[in-house]
Amino acid sequence: MKKRIYWLSLALVAGQAGHAFAQGPSDALRYSRLQFGGPARTQGIGGANVAVGADFGNLSSNPAGLGLFQKSEVHITPGVGLGESTGRMDNSSAAQNDTKNSFHIGSAGLVLANRRPDDDQSTNWRGGSFALGFTRLADFNTSFRYGGTLNDRKVGNLALTADDQSYLASLRRTVGFDGYGQENIDNLRNQASNGEYYSLNALAYGAYLSRIAKDPRTGADIGIASTTRSGPIQQAETSVARGSASQFDLGYGASYRDRLYLGIGVGLVSSNYTSVKTFTERESDPNTHLSDYTLREELKTSGTGINARVGAIYRATDALRIGASIQTPTFTWLTDNYNAVFTTTFTAQGNDVVATSLPTGPVGVKSLDQTFAPYAYTLTTPFRANGGLAYTLGKHGFVSGDVEYVSYGQARLHNNSNDANGSDYPFTAENSDIQALYKNTVNLRFGAEGRFDIFRVRLGYARYGDPYKADTNNERAQNFYTGGFGLRQNNFFLDLAGVYTTFNQDYTAYDLGGLEPLVKINHSRFTTSVTAGLTF
C-alpha cells in the first residue's frame, strides 16, 4: 500500500486549513465549477440554450435540443484567451499585475440528423439526431503575483511581530498541543535521515528552516522551532496555472409530433491541471543567519471521468419553448504529481541557533529538491439541474434564459485503493470541510439572437453564483458578458463570439488561524472564439 503524501500547500483559499492534505476542498471546487462551452453561437448568447434547441451546445447542456435539428452539420471552434489579474496584500498599497494567455479548441463535433418527410404520418416520432463531439467546459489558465512587507501590528489585544505572521511561524509545533506528539518528531527525523520526504514541513526541516527544540534540563524533544526574526519581512509570490477540463459527448435527441423533444447523452471528461508557485520571504535582521528562502512548488493533476444527462423541451406554443435537463454527478479518477524545492540562503552574520550540520562562517545557499510519489484518488462532483425558457420572435430571432442549480457541498473525495498509486485513506476530514465551506448555488444565463437576412447578432450575460458559505455579499461570483456575430450562406456558416469574464479570489499562502496576510486578487479574461461549419 503506497503512503499518502502530505504537504503544506501554498495554494490555499482563505478559510481552508493550512496544514492540509494534498487533496482537499479546493480540488473539489476546481473540477465542479464549470463554465458554459460549445460553439461560438452558444457562447455568444451566454450559454442560455437549454430551451433553444438545434444548437450543438445542447449536447452538453440539454440533449433534447438535438431533436430540433433539420439538417446534419459539422463544425470546429478554435479560440484565444487573454487573461489579466491584479494582486494586493492586506495593508499594502502596491498592487501587482500579471497576464496569462492561451490558445485552445473550444468545440468540435458532428450532428447527423434524420427527419421523416411531412407526408409520412406513419408514426408520431418525426425525426431525431445523433451527435458526437468535444466541448471545453473549464479554463484553468490563470496567473497572479503579489508582494509586500509584513510589519508589527495589533489584532484586537494581541500584539504581533512580523515574524508571528510569517510562513516560518506556521512550521512551529509543540509536543502535546493540537495532536502533535513525539511520533511526529521521530517521523521527521526518519525522513531527514533517509533523504526521502513525505511532507513539506519535513522538507523545510531538511532545508534548515526549522529544527527540533529540546528541553534544556532533560534533553527531551519538546517541539519544532524555526528562526525567530525581528523587523520587517518582505514576501512575494508568483502563481501560474494552466490546463482545462473538456468533455467528449455522445447524444441523441428525438422529436415527438414536433411538440415534445427528448434527449439523452453520455460524457467522457478529460482534465489536465498544472500549477507552478514560487514563494519568497526575505529579511534583514542582523541577529539571524538566515537571509532569505524560496519555495517553488509544481503540481500536475490529470484525470478522466464519466457522466450522463437527460433532457426535454416542450413547445408550449409556436413561439414559447420550455426546457429542462439533469446531469448525473461526474465520477472522476485523478492522479497528482507534486514537486517542491526549498532554496535557503544563510550568511555568517547572526547569533541565533542554527542546525549543527551547518558549517560555521559564510554558508551560502542550501537547496533541497523532492519529487513526491504520484497519488491516485477519485472525486464525485455534484449533479446539475437546468431549466430554461426560449421565446422566438418569428423569423427575426429569439430571447432565452436559463437557471442552473449546483450543490457544491455535495462533492466528495474518495480513495482509489485499487490503483498502485492509491491508498485506503478515507478523506473524512476533507469531505467534512467541503460540506462546511461550500453551499447550494444558482447560476443564471440570458441570451438573445437577432436575424437580419444572412447575418446574426447575439448578446448574452451569465452570473455563476458564489459557492462559499462564508461570503454574504457574493464577492466570488463569476460574471460573463458575451456577444457575437454570425453568417449563414447556403450550407456554410461562420460565427464569432467574445466572452469577458470577471471573478475575485481571496488567497492565503499558508494558515496561521487568521493571522496570516490575506491577498485580494481580481481576475479578468477575454476569450474570442470562431466557429466554421457546414450543413448537409
480-525 pLDDT tens trace: 999 999 999 999 999 999 999 999 999 999 989 889 999 999 999 9
pLDDT at 526: 97
Find the range with the poorest average confidence among 119-123, 163-167, 356-360: 356-360
pLDDT above 50: residue 20: no
Nearest to 396 by CA among 343, 449, 344, 353: 449
Alpha-carbon span 314 to 318, nearest angstrom = 10
pLDDT digits 0-9 by tens, 325-345? 999 999 999 999 999 999 998
Q: Give the residue among 444, 447, 390, 461 at the shortest CA–CA distance from 68.
A: 390
Q: Among all chains, which residue has been given the C-alpha cell 413547445?
A: 315
Other beta carbons within 10 angstroms of residue 156's beta carbon come to 5
Which class for 76: exposed (0-12), middle (13-18), buried (19 or more C-beta within 10 A)? middle
pLDDT classification of 346: cutoffs 50, 70, 90: confident
The three cell numbers locating residue 223: 517541539
The band of 23, judged by pLDDT with boundaries at 50, 70 and 90, is confident
pLDDT digits (tens, 9 = 90+) for 370-420: 998 899 999 999 999 999 999 999 999 999 999 999 999 999 999 999 999
Among 335, 298, 291, smallest CA distance to 200 is for: 298
**The three three-digit cell numbers of residue 229, written as one number:** 526574526
Among 340, 275, 339, smallest CA distance to 100 is for 275
Which is more confidently placed, 474 or 285?
285
**Count of CB atoms within 10 A of residue 487's CB?**
12
What's the CA gap between 174 and 214, in Å, rounded? 11
Q: What's the pLDDT at 366? A: 79
Task: Note whether 238 and 277 are within 8 A (CB).
Answer: yes
The answer, yes or no, to whether residue 5 has pLDDT greater than 50, is no
Write out pLDDT tens, residues 50-80.
999 999 999 999 999 999 999 999 999 999 9
User: Taking the alpha carbons of 124, 126, 131, 135 in that order, is the dihedral positive or negative?
Assistant: negative
